[in-house]
A and B are shown apart, each in its own frame.
Chain A
Amino acid sequence: MADTLRNDAFVAFERVQKSYDGETLVVKDLNLDMPKGEFLTMLGPSGSGKTTCLMMLAGFETATHGEIKLDGVSINNIPPHKRGIGMVFQNYALFPHMTVAENLSFPLEVRGLGKSEREGKIKRALDMVQMGEFGGRRPAQLSGGQQQRIALARALVFEPELVLMDEPLGALDKQLREHMQFEITRLAHELGITTVYVTHDQTEALTMSDRVAVFNDGRIQQLAPPDQLYESPDNSFVAQFIGENNTLLGTVKEVKGGYALVELDDGEVIDCKPVNVSKPGERTLVSIRPERVEIDKSRLHPDAHLLKAEVLEFIYMGDIFRTRLRVAGNEDFVIKTRNAPDQKRLRPGETIEIGWLPDDCRALDAP
Chain B
Amino acid sequence: MSDTTDTGPVLAADGTPLKKSLSRALRMQKVRALMLIAPLLIFVLVTFIAPIVDMLFRSVENQIVSETLPRTTAALEEWDPDTGELPSDEVFEAAYYDIFIAAERKLHTRLGTRLNYEQTGVSSLFRKSGRGLDDIGEVYQDQFEDLNENWDEARPWAELMSDPDWIAAREAWDEDGAAPMPTYRLQSGISDVLPRTAEAYRIFAEFTQREDEDSPLEEEPWSMVHTALFQDLTEQDVSGYTGPQAAMLQGAAGAVGEFETISFRDGFVEIDEDWLDPEVWQTIQTYSPNYTTGYFLNAVDMQKTPDGPALRDEDERIYGLLFQRTMFMSLVITFSCILLAYPVAYLLSTLPMRKANLLMILVLLPFWTSLLVRTSAWKVMLQQQGVINDVLVWLGLVADESRLVMINNQFGTIVAMTHILLPFMILPMYSVMSTIPPSYVRAAKSLGASNWTAFWRVYFPQSVPGIGAGSILVFILAIGYYITPEIVGGTTGTFISNRIAYHISSSLNWGLAAALGTLLLVVVLGLYWAYDRIVGIDNVKLGG
Contacts and interface: CB of A to CB of B under 8 A. Distances in A.
A60 B444 CA distance: 12
A93 B443 contact: yes
Contact of A87 (B446, B449, B453, B462): B446
B interface: dominant SS: helix
Given A96-B462, A97-B461, A110 B449 contact: yes
Interface string A137-158: 0000000000000000011001
A85 B457 contact: no
Interface string B411-449: 000000000000000000000000001011011111111
A93 B440 CA distance: 5
A135 interface: no
A56 to B, nearest CB: 13
Interface residues of B, number: 19
A97 B462 contact: yes
Contacts of A90: 439
A306 interface: no
A110 B447 contact: yes
A237 interface: no
A90 B443 CA distance: 11
B447 A107 contact: yes
A29 B449 CA distance: 31
A225 interface: no
Given A80-B442, A93-B442, A107 B448 contact: yes
A111 B448 CA distance: 7
B462 to A, nearest CB: 6
Contacts of A111: 448
A158 B439 contact: no
Nearest to A112: B448
Give the one of B447, B448, B451, B457 with max A CB within 10 A: B447
Given A81-B448, A81-B449, A111-B448, A106 B457 contact: yes
A245 B437 CA distance: 39
A57 B454 CA distance: 19
B158 to A, nearest CB: 88
Contacts of B239: none
A91 interface: yes
A158 B446 CA distance: 11
B450 interface: yes
B393 interface: no
Given A89-B442, A89-B443, A106-B449, A81 B454 contact: yes
A164 B458 CA distance: 21
A86 B446 contact: yes
Contact of A110 (B439, B450, B462): B450
Interface of A: 58-60, 79-87, 89-91, 93-97, 106-107, 110-111, 154-155, 158, 164
Given A79-B451, A82-B448, A95-B443, 9 more contacts: A81-B448, A81-B450, A83-B446, A86-B446, A87-B442, A89-B443, A106-B457, A107-B447, A154-B447
Interface of B: 437, 439-440, 442-451, 453-454, 457-458, 461-462
6 contacts: A58-B442, A80-B442, A93-B439, A93-B442, A95-B443, A110-B448
